[in-house]
């Protein structure tokens, strides 16, 4: 199945896609160990993850292992704004990217600004991951939990709909996902005990088509994983990272966040479905077709929102439609994405919050490792084994790449079973020691095939892999890197003067392939030929 | 409770200081309006909240409402250099391009947060836990760990560097500090091709280059293709112990350290 781009001109793009996929396989004279039936990325980068699969693997090969040493700066754009956390899109020669309250459209060849959209808002400005593009429109979530529709030509606002009440703490940091004319978003926040949800809106009008709560509905079997409806209805489950989609199965895959109160679990005994879970949703109705919980009864803020990456490959000798996630709780999961059947649970960083794995493949939380009023020393980095930074899967190497964190942390509980916590966090954690590391995981076993120390501390660099046998990312020491994805060897590096806190992306325009990297508040474009 | 009383006493001058600072700000710059605070909050959440928490009460980075530097800041005079230059050894990145207006907004937001926090017993964990909550261990067992299994006495002394340590830190900070104190005094020896060795404080080490602050106070750096480096981290033993402690050990050692007032 070839990726059908969701904008106009689909027939011509489809043709190009076929040629590029065929070309990639011929060029390197080797057969992918993973089939290419998942949509591949081509000249453009039309969605947050590039395509629906979440692999962040591009078939472009102009920049490749043999010439990446010659990579030069093509252009840079200074936003004078906050840290760039969005993955830019590239469509029709225009790059679109964001920070909270702001969207820019740039000439993809020169970095020249075409338009900027600004809307000052109340609400949480923690981050903005990017926009969605559909039918010449741009879709943009705001800190006060509105979804805006802009004219992609000039940035003019076409409509503005309220998704949720910002006074209750809701906000949108997500890059929307477009599925069959629906604009799909999920809500963010942990400040106040509320229900979170995933919602699909009509692309033309912004009217709600379906809304799926990430918490169980009263009276359903899943509701029995909560002690009562009150706890459940205040139970969290934010859905703040863009999901993935399988057009053949018509299923949307979306990760959910932690339950509320965040660290105080005494008032919500049970597994607390569907928090810290991977959900498979019927794209037409939003109905939950299956779910898999990565952290039952979470008390460490182990959001399971990290990208559920889709690829087709053999597992135990049998071709499968797979879904893989390196989850914030430090475990790597592989599922059959058609059925939700669990195939692999394997820790990718040392951690001791769980005492084993249950028959369903979910780690079993160890009550002795929950936050304590006098402090609990935990093996594992304070913010989790990874976070929102995008992973990548390279079908050529069959490796899953994730920027991970190892360390120790100290966890304090504010409340006990007798009294509810005084706030929605219910405690807090202190990072004692954190070190970052880039891991290449074998999807079949979860084993680390190679690793590269990234530096002391933490950051949020995402990952891009390409058919040019390249892996682009940044480290915690201030380097921008192109690595050999088969062994982690450095092929190109530079010091861009700041940190990569988003994922690199790539596109090809007028015969030139570009790599884009957001460094602090500056967007840099790299190519083999440099400036026009 | 002695510690608590001291904490309260300490707070009074600091609180007054914060209020005076607010007056100073008003005297020297246009009065902070709601929109300045709102802008400062946005700037803070975008740039600082990942480490310092959305409400500046800490996370991976320190609680800024407890920070003496922030509390003594006047119109951004102390905060601005830290934002612009960062604190490399402590993992604080530099924001050299942040405008003075944005820094003033952030400073305004922090001072407003401090004032609010001082006046309201807010409900987050960084509000100090009582000492009683932390004193769940056995001080004698902690002492034995200190001199026995932990071999803490090879570097530390209750009458030397640790004398009065329980009076210097709140219970939560003391617990975190003895487990793994924040530090930036990793030392390095750089071996030059000539055979010469240069010692200094390690400023940077990645796969490509090393930088140190030489013993004579000068910055030096080398490509790793030219030199070899030996790193001496004084906290290696602390890191090893993190992997060995049982939670009971943590609370026993805390109880022992709490006797060192």
Q: In 3D, which of A370, A181, A164 has the Cα closest to residue A173? A: A164
pLDDT of residue B117: 59
Tokens of A302: 């182990």
pTM of this prediction exceeds 0.90: no
CB contact B166 to A (< 8 Å): no
What percent of chain B is modeled with pLDDT above 70?
A: 82
| Residue ranges of domains in chain B, CATH in brackets | 2-119 (1.10.760.10), 131-182+237-257 (no CATH), 187-233 (2.30.30.520)
> What are A42-99's pLDDT values in tens digits?
899 999 999 999 999 999 999 999 999 999 999 999 999 879 999 999 999 999 999 9
The alpha carbon of residue A285 is apart from the nearest alpha carbon of chain B, in Å, by: 35
DSSP labels, A325-374: EE-TTSEEEEEETTT--EEEEEESS---SEEEE-TTS-EEE-GGGS-BTT
Q: Name the DSSP class of A46.
A: -
Report chain B's terminal Cα–Cα distance, integer Å.
12
pLDDT of residue B129: 65
Tokens of B33: 């309006």
In a domain, A532, yes or no: no
In a domain, A5, yes or no: no
Arithmetic mean of pLDDT, A254-262: 95
> What are A407-434's pLDDT values in tens digits?
999 999 986 655 666 567 888 899 999 9
Q: In 3D, which of B248, B202, B177 has the Cα closest to residue A432? A: B177
In a domain, A275, yes or no: yes
Arithmetic mean of pLDDT, A296-318: 97
* Interchain contact, A375 vs B175, CB within 8 Å: yes
In a domain, A84, yes or no: yes
ipTM of predicted complex: 0.88
Arithmetic mean of pLDDT, B100-115: 87
- The H-or-E segment that residue B17 falls in is helix B2-28
pLDDT of residue A2 exceeding 80, the answer is: no
- Strand pairing report for A399-413 and A522-527: unpaired
Angle, alpha carbons B60-A378-B179 (nearest 5°): 70
* Interchain contact, A408 vs B95, CB within 8 Å: no
In a domain, A3, yes or no: no
- Strand pairing report for A464-466 and A57-58: parallel
Q: What is the CATH number of the domain that holds A259?
A: 2.140.10.10
Of A375, A383, A475, the CB nearest to B60: A383
The total number of structural domains in chain A stands at 1
Catalytic annotation, pick one of A124, A246, A301, A475: A301
Tokens of A306: 């990290």
pLDDT of residue A193: 77
Helix axes B171-179, B247-257, angle to 10 degrees: 120
Of A368, A422, A433, the CB nearest to B242: A433
In a domain, A242, yes or no: yes
β-bridge partners, A78: A522
Phi-psi region of A231 (alpha: psi -120 to 50; beta: other; left: phi over 0): alpha
Cβ proximity of A206 and A185 under 8 Å: no
> What are A373-384's pLDDT values in tens digits?
999 999 999 999
Low-confidence winner among A24-28, A107-111, B174-178 (lowest mean pLDDT):
A24-28
Low-confidence winner among A121-130, B31-40, B163-172 (lowest mean pLDDT):
B31-40
Q: pLDDT averaged over chain A?
A: 91
In a domain, A417, yes or no: yes
CB contact A290 to B (< 8 Å): no
Q: Note down the domain range covering A41.
A: 10-527
CA distance A60 to A27: 11
Residues of B whose CB is below 8 A from A423: 122-124
Low-confidence winner among A93-97, A199-203, A212-216, B82-86 (lowest mean pLDDT):
B82-86
In a domain, A110, yes or no: yes
Give contacts of B 51-70 with A, CB under 8 A.
Answer: 54, 57-60
Low-confidence winner among A305-314, A329-338, A396-405, B69-78 (lowest mean pLDDT):
B69-78
DSSP labels, A444-511: TT--EEEEEEEEES------EEETTTEEEEE-TTS-EEEE-TTT--EEEEE--SS-B-S--EEEEETT
Cβ proximity of B250 and B175 under 8 Å: yes
Give contacts of B 198-257 with A, CB under 8 A.
Answer: 204-208, 239, 242-243, 245, 247, 250-251, 254
- Strand pairing report for A448-456 and A427-442: antiparallel
| Catalytic residue flag (residue A475) | no
What percent of chain A is modeled with pLDDT above 70?
A: 91
């Amino acid at each position: 199945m070839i990726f059908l781009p969701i904008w106009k001109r689909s027939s011509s793009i489809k043709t190009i896609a076929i040629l590029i996929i065929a070309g990639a396989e011929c060029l390197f004279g080797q057969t992918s160990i993973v089939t290419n039936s998942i949509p591949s990325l081509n000249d453009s980068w039309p969605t947050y993850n590039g395509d629906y699969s979440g692999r962040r693997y591009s078939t472009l090969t102009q920049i490749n292992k043999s010439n990446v040493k010659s990579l030069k700066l093509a252009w840079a754009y200074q936003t004078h704004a906050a840290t760039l956390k969005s993955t830019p899109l590239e469509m029709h020669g225009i790059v679109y990217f964001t920070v909270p309250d702001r969207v820019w459209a740039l000439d993809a060849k020169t970095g020249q600004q075409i338009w900027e959209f600004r809307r000052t808002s109340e609400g949480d400005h923690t981050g903005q991951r990017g926009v969605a593009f559909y039918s010449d429109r741009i879709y943009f979530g705001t800190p006060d939990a509105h979804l805006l529709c802009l004219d992609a030509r000039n940035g003019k606002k076409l409509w503005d709909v309220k998704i949720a009440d910002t006074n209750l703490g809701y906000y949108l940091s997500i890059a929307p996902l477009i599925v069959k004319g629906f604009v799909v978003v999920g809500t963010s926040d942990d400040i106040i005990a509320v229900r979170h949800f995933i919602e699909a809106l009509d692309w033309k009008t912004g009217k709600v088509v379906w809304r799926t709560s990430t918490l169980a509905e009263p009276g359903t079997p899943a509701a029995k994983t909560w002690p009562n409806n009150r706890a459940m209805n205040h139970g969290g489950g934010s859905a703040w990272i863009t999901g993935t989609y399988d057009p053949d199965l018509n299923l949307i895959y979306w990760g959910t966040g932690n339950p509320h109160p965040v660290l105080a679990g005494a008032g919500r005994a049970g597994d607390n479905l569907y928090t810290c879970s991977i959900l498979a949703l019927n794209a037409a109705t939003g109905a939950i077709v299956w779910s898999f919980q990565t952290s039952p009864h979470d008390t460490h803020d182990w959001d399971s929102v990290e990208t559920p990456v889709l690829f087709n490959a053999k597992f135990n000798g049998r071709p499968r439609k797979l879904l893989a996630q390196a989850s914030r709780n430090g475990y790597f999961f592989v599922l059959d994405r058609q059925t939700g059947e669990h195939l692999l649970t394997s820790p990718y960083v040392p951690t001791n919050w769980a005492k084993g794995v249950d028959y369903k493949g979910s780690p079993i939380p160890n009550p002795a490792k929950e936050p304590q009023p006098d402090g609990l020393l935990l093996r594992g980095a304070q913010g989790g084994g990874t976070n929102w930074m995008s992973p990548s899967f390279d079908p050529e190497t069959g490796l899953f790449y994730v920027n991970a964190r190892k360390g120790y942390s100290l966890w304090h509980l504010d409340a006990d079973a007798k009294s509810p916590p005084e706030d929605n966090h219910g405690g807090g954690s202190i990072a004692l020691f954190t070190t970052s590391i880039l891991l290449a995981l074998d999807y079949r076993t979860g084993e680390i095939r190679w690793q590269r120390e990234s530096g002391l501390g933490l950051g949020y660099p995402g990952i891009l892999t390409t058919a040019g046998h390249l892996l682009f990312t940044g480290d915690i020491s201030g380097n921008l890197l192109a690595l050999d994805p088969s062994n982690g060897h450095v092929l190109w590096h530079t010091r861009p003067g700041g940190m990569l806190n988003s994922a690199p992306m790539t596109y090809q325009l007028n015969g030139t392939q570009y790599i884009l990297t957001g460094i602090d508040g500056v967007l840099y474009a790299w190519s083999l030929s440099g400036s026009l | 409770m002695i510690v608590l009383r001291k904490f309260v006493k300490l707070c009074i001058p600091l609180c007054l200081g914060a209020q005076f600072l607010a007056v100073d700000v008003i005297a020297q710059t246009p009065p902070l309006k709601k929109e300045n605070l709102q802008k400062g909050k946005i700037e803070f959440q975008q740039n600082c909240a990942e480490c310092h928490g959305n409400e500046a009460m800490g996370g991976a980075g320190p609680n800024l409402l407890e920070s003496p530097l922030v509390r003594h800041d006047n119109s951004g005079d102390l905060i601005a250099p830290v934002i612009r230059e960062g604190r490399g050894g402590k993992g604080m990145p530099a924001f050299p391009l942040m405008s003075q207006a944005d820094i003033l907004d952030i400073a305004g937001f922090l001072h407003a947060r401090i004032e609010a926090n001082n006046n309201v017993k807010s409900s987050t964990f960084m509000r100090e836990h009582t000492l009683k909550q932390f004193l769940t261990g056995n001080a004698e067992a902690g002492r034995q760990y200190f001199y026995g299994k932990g071999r803490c006495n090879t570097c530390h002394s209750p009458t030397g560097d640790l004398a009065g340590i329980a009076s210097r830190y709140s219970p939560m900070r003391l617990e975190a500090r003895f487990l793994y104190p924040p530090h930036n005094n990793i030392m390095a020896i750089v071996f030059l091709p000539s055979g010469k060795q240069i010692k200094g404080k390690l400023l940077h080490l990645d796969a490509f280059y090393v930088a140190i602050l030489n013993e004579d106070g000068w910055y030096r750096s080398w490509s790793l293709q030219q030199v070899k480096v030996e790193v001496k981290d004084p906290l290696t033993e602390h890191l090893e112990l993190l992997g060995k402690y049982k939670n009971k050990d943590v609370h026993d050692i805390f109880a022992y350290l709490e006797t060192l007032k």
